[in-house]
Structures are given as structure tokens and as C-alpha cells.
Amino acid sequence: RSAIHNDYPEVNRPGSFPLGEVTYGSAFARLVEEMRSDEFRKAFEEKFGIDLMNRPDMITVRGRCSEKDGKIHTDSETKIITILIYMNAGWESAGGRLRLLRSGNNLDDMILEVPPTEGTLLAFRRIRSAPRDSV
């Protein structure tokens, strides 16, 4: 885990950045390679009961959040499944937790709250009416 963490791209501003826009080391490159493997894809196909064989992937990295990141939203319509892997080492702040919500207007009406703990993987299928929020 520490090798991947050390090789994670340095991102010093808010936003999501495609892999082609950042520089990273070999351990992180191996993680990306595994995420693009047939075995990884098949595991999520089985879990969600859908065929992802000829679907493109989009892997982005983040380093900082902005105010707008805490707003209730649904993922873009082009996404089928969102897979989040938390790479930050240590997290002392009470903020930064992701909430999967039942409704689009109540932060407290949550299904699940995910702490940003290093190594945590969260995967969910995009549903038109399924909002989420970071708090």
C-alpha cells in the first residue's frame, strides 16, 4: 500500500484529472493496469449483473476538494458504475465523508456514509434518481 501511496500523482488543486494529465510512479501504474484487467471488469460485471465488455473506462485522480464538491448531485449520465478508491493516508477531519442519499434534498436521509479511509473501495451503479453528497 505504501508504494502505491508514494507513487500516487501529486495533485495540488481541486478537480478530477484524467491519468493523461498527471505523472505517477510504477506502483500506481500497476494498480491502474489491474483496474483495467479482465479480472477486475468481470468482478464488477458479476456484482452488478451487467456487461461491461465493450464499455470505455475513465480513470481520474483527485487531490483536493472544493466547496462545490459538497453539493448533492447524481453522477453524469455517461457513467454506468462509479468505483472510488480512497488513497489518502490518514484522515483527521470530520469532513470528507461521502453520503449515498435516498433523496435529492435531504443530507440526513442517507443510505450509507463512507469515511475517506485509505484503501476503502466503494462501487455503485449510477441511477438517475440516486443522489450523493460529500460532507
Domain tally for the chain? 1
Helix (H, G, I), strand (E, B) or coil at 18: strand
What is residue 68's DSSP assignment? G
The answer on pLDDT for 129 being more than 80 is no
pLDDT of residue 50: 94
- Provide the β-strand partners of residue 101: 110
Answer whether residue 72 shows pLDDT above 90. no
Assessment of whether the complete model's pTM goes beyond 0.85: no
The set of residues, in sequence order, having a beta carbon less than 8 Å from that of 18 and lying 6+ positions away, is 58, 59, 60
Closest by CA to 5, choosing from 126, 99, 88, is 88
**Phi, psi (degrees; rounded to nearest 5) at 42:** -65, -35
Q: What is the pLDDT of residues 7-49, one digit of tens each?
A: 999 998 888 999 999 999 999 999 999 999 999 999 999 999 9
Among candidate residues 98, 68, 103, the one with its CA nearest the CA of residue 82: 98
Confidence of residue 123 (pLDDT cuts 50, 70, 90): very high
